[in-house]
A and B are shown apart, each in its own frame.
Chain A
Amino acid sequence: MKTYNVYIAGVGGQGVVRTSIIIGLACFKKGVNVVMSEIHGMAQRGGSVPAEMKIGDAYSPIIEKGGADLLISFEPAESLRAMGKLSKDTVAVINTQPIIPVTVALGTSVYLDPKTYIDELRSKLKRVVVLDAESMAREAGNILSLNMVMLGASSATPGFPVEKEFLVAAMKENLPAKAIDANLRAFDMGFELAEKELQ
């Protein structure tokens, strides 16, 4: 009955929804039940975009307070924004590259040193994997494959319920054919880095 709950945080345009679709589709291909909730429309325009999913037998994809097994965060401040869904046992995979909202230059809000948000989570969660997914994506050949670096890293965390073969099959169905090599490289780079960090 225990489900595996994934919360994905980021900013509109970073590929949050695409990543969650790929994870869900991979579970489906493996034959595991999955339900997922996405946010479309106005909220996607550069705002905070959360996607959440439950893998296993659940009716609703909405995760309870402190109920996330895994946080995949594409952005440092957004990872902390997810805190209501996180407990000390949540595993977090966090991209270090910040996206500074326009409110900061306008002086209506403050963006701290990105490390501050990550350190805050490190102090509260047992396991945190931190990576510069943007640089890794660039190295893999396409800055747009940042989300696949994050996916690769996430899939290396303990308890992640779906294997690479299913994820790759789902990626092939969801990503442009001409970008698939860069995306697979990005996935592997993320996976290897997370494996090393977790040791």
Chain B
Amino acid sequence: MSDILTAKPGSKLYLLGNEAVVRGALENGISVAATYPGTPSSEIGDVFMDVAKDAGMYFEFSTNEKVALEVAAAAAASGLRSFVWMKHVGMNVASDSFMSIAYTKIRAGMVVLSADDPTMWSSQNEQDSRWYARLGNAPVLEPSNPQEMKDLMKYAFEISEKSGLAVLMRTTTRISHMRGVVTVGEVHVGKKKGEFVKEPSRFLPMPAQAYAAHKRIIETLADLVHDADTSPWNKVYGKGGKLGIITSGPTFNYAMDVVNEYDLKADVLKLTFTYPFPEKLVLDFVKNHEAILVAEEVDPIMEKEIFAILGKNGVIGKIYGKLDGTMPMAYEYSTDILKAAISKALGITLPEKTAITSDLKLPVRPPVWCPGCPHRGMYYATRKAVENLGIGNVIYPTDIGCYSLSATPPYQMADYLLSMGSSIGLASGLAVATDQKIVGFIGDSTFFHAGIPPLVNAVHAAVKMVIVVLDNRITGMTGGQPNPGMPLNGMGEVAPEVSIEAVAKAIGVGFVKSVDPANLAAAQAVMEEALGFDGVAVVIARHPCVMIKSKEKSAKQKLVFTVNKATCDKCMLCVTRFACPAMFIGEDGVVAIDEALCNGCGVCVQICPQKAIGVRR
């Protein structure tokens, strides 16, 4: 059983932020937890899946973030503490219901965690979730390390229960994926079941009720300003001096490391409870310093709050931040960036360490599909089918998941991407807007998440297009979580599988066929057939994700392939057209296979015109 559940109160664990927050939930009587996996929040679900049953609570991987949020809201409305988390763009999906939560009044604590991804390590945009707090009237807490992620769960539930509002915990990649020492408290098992006591005036935000509710929300938020002002989580780390630094989340860490390293005379005001904004606390802090530096990732949200407070109170002072160009407007910060900003605000020069430099050019190393990834075979077969039929100018709308890696050479079969499920909606629109052939790609989990309504739309619009559902039997990019297409749920129990074929047929798709993309000839034949179909065609390419497979297979001996140097005629098709990362051109100019990287899928054997690739004996 996981330490995260069993560790004794007062003991210490070495935890990822995303692990620590689970312990925080377990210590505070969590009853219901739900998510849709998304980096950098995914490990939270992995841990819950591991511990939920033993902890006597309920956890699910919901079909999408909106459903997850609704599951959590229903629990909170029924008197059970609930927790829902997602990556920042998941908030967009969840937002429709998120906006209405404040207009109801939940009966038990509800925490919504959004993991932002400054610098976009694994995301399509850099949106700042703190805007959602303003739109959705949710108090915001911003932790700075794994210990705080754990400890803030208690506080978050308390604020939520006091206000009847859901609390938004905003982390970033550098907090969710920070590992550190965490001292744990006592686990408190939550209630198993609640009761939904009917109260239409509370839970039905129809016009008359919503009209009254909005006024109540404004009053509740106004009351919470006092809580933020006096919160033990909003605290000055002081050394005295004329400079005050106002900061939150990961940026607090960078500021502290600079102030300590160079023993600077500056006060750091760490804001953790950042919405409603602690007006009096900040005003007093500004008044007590000659200059203020505001350091926050990503948008200048606190900074604008501060300008509003200064304006309201007729105070004039110098504010260094994003708006005067001191802090960068985009991307995550670092100790180096804070060092430069603090130096500027203090008007001093700090000693610089010299990093080595080199004029050597480094090879570009973009993320690629794993060796043995079934997507590579399906894209290869699709391209062959398109070439064989002599179709030009095919448009490939794509989706969120590993298949977006089809954008890079030699495939370049990703043309338009907006969000989860966008491949099918875009395909539908492109079919109306152009006369080009359209082949959209979407994954199994993404299909369930947001692919079904646009497929209904396409059928009803009677357009012509091919949608390939890459069913690798897992939610892959995020590390391998179950989805509704699998006979497994978040509790680790056997669960009913939802058939992609049956869904497509029920919607009225006229062409539904499945194929194993490890068989290139069969995959190509199905794609050629689908491209000739007059209507919406759905091809399901089904083959398990190699990351999951290699875990299962780890005990067994895997096949390793090798190139026969005598028969290879150096056509280079395998490296320039197929591009498996386990294959490379060796020093002798002949293609070689890296034994450590090869996963033994055997698809390269099928593409070699000289039959020069075989199993290593």
Interface residues of A (CB under 8 A from B): 1, 11-13, 21, 24-25, 28, 33-48, 58-67, 77-78, 80-81, 83-88, 90, 99-106, 108-112, 116-117, 120-121, 124-125, 134, 143-144, 146, 176, 178
Contacts and interface: CB of A to CB of B under 8 A. Distances in A.
Given A37-B177, A78-B365, A109-B363, 14 more contacts: A35-B145, A36-B179, A46-B370, A47-B366, A60-B335, A62-B335, A77-B362, A83-B355, A101-B366, A102-B579, A104-B363, A106-B410, A121-B356, A143-B595
A109 B365 CA distance: 9
A33 B181 contact: yes
Nearest to A46: B368
A104 B365 CA distance: 9
A1 B365 contact: no
Interface in B230-285: 250, 252-254, 256-257, 260-261
A34 B261 CA distance: 17
Nearest to B596: A143
Contacts of B594: 99
A28 B356 contact: no
B356 A43 contact: no
Contacts of A108: 364, 409
A121 B575 CA distance: 30
A143 B479 CA distance: 23
Contact of B358 (A13, A58, A80, A87): A80
Nearest to B356: A124
Given A1-B260, A41-B478, A102-B368, A35 B179 contact: yes
Nearest to B179: A36
B392 interface: no
B235 to A, nearest CB: 14
Contacts of A43: 121-122, 367
Given A66-B354, A80-B362, A87-B354, A45 B370 contact: yes
B369 interface: yes
A3 to B, nearest CB: 9
- What are the nearest 5 A-B pairs in CB distance? A41-B39, A41-B122, A60-B253, A105-B575, A66-B355
B356 A83 contact: yes
Main secondary structure on B side of the interface with A? loop
Nearest to A81: B362
Contacts of A88: 354, 356
B405 interface: yes
A11 B365 contact: yes
Interface residues of B, number: 70
A58 B257 CA distance: 6
Contacts of B355: 65-66, 83-87
Contacts of B477: 41-42, 45
B201 interface: no
B581 A46 contact: yes
Interface of B: 12, 14, 16, 39-40, 42-43, 121-122, 144-145, 173-174, 177-181, 250, 252-254, 256-257, 260-261, 334-336, 339, 352-358, 360-370, 402, 405, 409-410, 477-479, 554-555, 572, 575-576, 579-581, 583-585, 594-597
B362 A100 contact: no
Nearest to A85: B355
A42 B173 CA distance: 13
Contact of B576 (A41, A64, A105, A144): A105
B356 A60 contact: no
B353 A66 contact: yes
A59 B39 CA distance: 23
A39 B121 contact: yes
Contacts of B363: 77, 100-101, 103-104, 109-111
Contacts of B145: 35, 59
Contact of B360 (A41, A120, A176): A120
A106 B365 CA distance: 12
Contact of A99 (B356, B402, B405, B597): B597
Nearest to B594: A99
9 contacts: A34-B179, A40-B40, A41-B122, A41-B479, A86-B355, A87-B353, A99-B597, A101-B366, A109-B364
Nearest to A137: B596
